[in-house]
Structure 1
Amino acid sequence: MIRIAICDDSEYMRKATAKILLEYSIQKDMEYNVKQFETGEELLQVIDDYDLVFLDYQFEDKGKDGMAIAREIRLKNKDLVIIFLTSYTSIVFDSFEIGAYRFLVKPIDERKFYAALDDYIDSLNKEQTLIIKVDGVTHYIKESKIMYVEGNGKKCIIHIIDGTSEIVCNETLSAIEQRLSAKLFNRCHKSFLVNMRYVKAFNHTDLVLENDESIVISRSKFKDFYEAYTDYISKI
C-alpha cells in the first residue's frame, strides 16, 4: 500500500490529480490510499503518514509556497518522495535544492504522470524494500523505515520509525529475517530483530533505540551483536 498526499490550493487540480491517480492504479493494479490537502501547513502536521506527495509549487494566498513547505518537509522527513505540480517550468533548478523526485507541468500530461509513477514504483522494487501482504493489502516498507521487528508466535510485528506505526503480518520472525539485509538487521534475541541504524546505546542485557525504547539482548547473542554492530559502525 502506497500512502499518497495531494497538496494543492486548487480544488480542481486536487480532483484532477486524484482522477489520473485512480486511472493509473486501475491500469497498473497499484494499491494505494490518498488524502487531499488545501495547504502545505495542513500536510506538515501529518507528513510522516505518507510515502509520496504531489505538491503545488505556488499557493495563492493560502500559506507558504511549495518550496518553503518542501524545505520544512525535508527537516522532518528526508525520505518522502516529492513530485511538484507547477505552471512554471523554471522551477526545475529550484527543485534540486530539496531533492524533488520530479516536477509535472500543469495541466498535467497523463503520459508524463504515468512515467513518473512507473519510475517511482520501479525504484521501490530496486531499493531494499520489504514487500508484505496483510489482509489482502500489499505494503511496501523501506528497510530504512523499520526500527525493529518483534516475533509473536507465527506472526510478527514490524515497528516503523515514527514510533506510532505497527504492521502485524502472518509471517514468522525467521521468515522476515531472511528477507531483510543481514548487514543492517541483527537478531539480538529470539523475539527481536533490530535495525542497527537506530541503536543509540547497549550493554550486555539491553539495547536502547533512538526513540528510547529498550530491547532485550540474549546473553548468547551478545557477542554476535557486538561484532555485527562494530562492523556496521565502521562502514558508515
Structure 2
Amino acid sequence: MKLNIAICDDEILQVNLVEKLIMEAVETENIKVNILKFLCGEDLIAYCNSNKLHIIFLDMEMKGLDGIESARKIREKNDNVIIIFVTGYKEYVFDVFEVNTFRYILKPVKIEQFQKALYDAIKIIGELKEPQKEEEFLVINKNKEKIIIAYNSINYFEKYKNKVMVMADNQNIEFYGTFNELNMLLNGDRFIRVHQGYIANIDKIELITSKEVLLKNGNRIPVSRRNAKEVKETFLSRKRVKL
C-alpha cells in the first residue's frame, strides 16, 4: 500500500524541509508514499473532503485558517487520519487534544524526533511492523501466595492505612504494603503518582483536569495541585505529544 501523506504550511521552505525528512525516513524502511503539499488550511480541507489521507503534517499558525481550525474541520468528516503538528509555538500544546492530535513537534525540527513520530504513525497504520514486546507484570505477595497481574489490566492503585488496593479491569486486589514499596516493583514509565493516595496507569488516562484524572473506564480519581503539572507533562510526553 502507498501511504498518502499531506504537508500543510504557509512557508514553502518548511513544506520542502518536511518533505525531505519524510523521504529520508521512508527510504530506509522501503515504504512507498505519495506526498501532497498545501500552503493553506483551506486547500487541505478541500482535498480531504474527497480524497483519502493517512497522515497530515500540519503547521499551527497560518494565514487564513490556523492549524487547530483546519484540523477541527477535517475531524468533522475524518476520525482516522493521523495529524501531527509541526510548529514553532509551544503554547498551543494543550489545545491540540480537542482534535485528537497524534504528536506535537516543535521547530526547529529534530530529525530523531520527527522520524520517531512518523514511524510510530506508520506502525499504527500497519505498514511498519514492530517486534512483539514481552508483556510486563506486577507480582505481589498476599497470604503467602504470589499474585501476577498484567500491567495493561491495571487502572490505578489506591492507598489506605497500611494496605494498597489494585484496581484492575476484572478484579480488585488488596495487599499489605506502602506506595514506596510498590514503586520499587513498578515500571516507572507506565505509572505515575497523581495524588498522595493514588498511582495511575498512564496508558489508562483519558483526560486530566486541575482537580482530577478521568480514566478510560470512566473512573475518576483526584489529582493533587502539587502533582498536577508533572502528571500532565508525563502524560503528554508518553502519549501523543512530544515537546
Question: How does the TM-score come out when normalised to structure 2?
Answer: 0.49
The aligned counterpart of 1:40 is: 41
Shift of residue 92, structure 1, vs aligned partner: 1.9
3-state SS of paired residue (2:7): strand
Question: Which contiguous aligned blocks of 4+ residues in structure 1 show a shift greater than 3 angstroms?
Answer: none
- Distance in 1 of aligned mates of 2:100 and 2:36: 22
Deviations 1:28-69 (A, max 9, x none): 21111001000010011111331111011001xx21111111
1:73-222 mapped onto 2 (5 Å cutoff):
73-125=74-126
Shift of residue 123, structure 1, vs aligned partner: 1.5
- Distance in 1 of aligned mates of 2:114 and 2:9: 16
The aligned counterpart of 1:58 is: 61
Structure 1: 5+ residue stretches without partners: 127-236
The aligned counterpart of 1:49 is: 52
Identify the structure with bigger relative contact order (alpha carbons < 8 Å, sequence gap 6+). 2
- Asked if 1 retains the 8 angstrom alpha-carbon contact of 2:25 and 2:115, the reply is yes
Shift of residue 76, structure 1, vs aligned partner: 1.6
Letter in 1 for 2:16: K
- Distance in 2 of aligned mates of 1:124 and 1:36: 21
The aligned counterpart of 2:19 is: 18
- Distance in 1 of aligned mates of 2:36 and 2:123: 23
Letter in 1 for 2:58: L
Letter in 2 for 1:107: P
Larger Rg: 2
Shift of residue 72, structure 1, vs aligned partner: 0.4
The percentage of aligned residue pairs carrying the same residue is 35
- Distance in 2 of aligned mates of 1:52 and 1:113: 13
- Distance in 2 of aligned mates of 1:122 and 1:51: 12
Shift of residue 11, structure 1, vs aligned partner: 0.5
3-state SS of paired residue (1:76): coil
Deviations 1:128-158 (A, max 9, x none): xxxxxxxxxxxxxxxxxxxxxxxxxxxxxxx
- Asked if 1 retains the 8 angstrom alpha-carbon contact of 2:60 and 2:66, the reply is yes
Letter in 1 for 2:125: L
- Tell me how many residue pairs correspond in the alignment: 124
- Asked if 1 retains the 8 angstrom alpha-carbon contact of 2:55 and 2:121, the reply is no
The aligned counterpart of 1:171 is: none
Question: How does the TM-score come out when normalised to structure 1?
Answer: 0.51
3-state SS of paired residue (1:35): strand
- Distance in 2 of aligned mates of 1:32 and 1:15: 15
Shift of residue 90, structure 1, vs aligned partner: 2.4
Structure having the higher helix fraction is 1
RMSD: 1.3
3-state SS of paired residue (2:109): coil
Deviations 1:171-213 (A, max 9, x none): xxxxxxxxxxxxxxxxxxxxxxxxxxxxxxxxxxxxxxxxxxx
Structure 2: 5+ residue stretches without partners: 128-243
- Distance in 1 of aligned mates of 2:46 and 2:112: 32
Quick check: 10-19 or 40-49, which moved more?
Answer: 40-49
- Distance in 1 of aligned mates of 2:122 and 2:65: 30
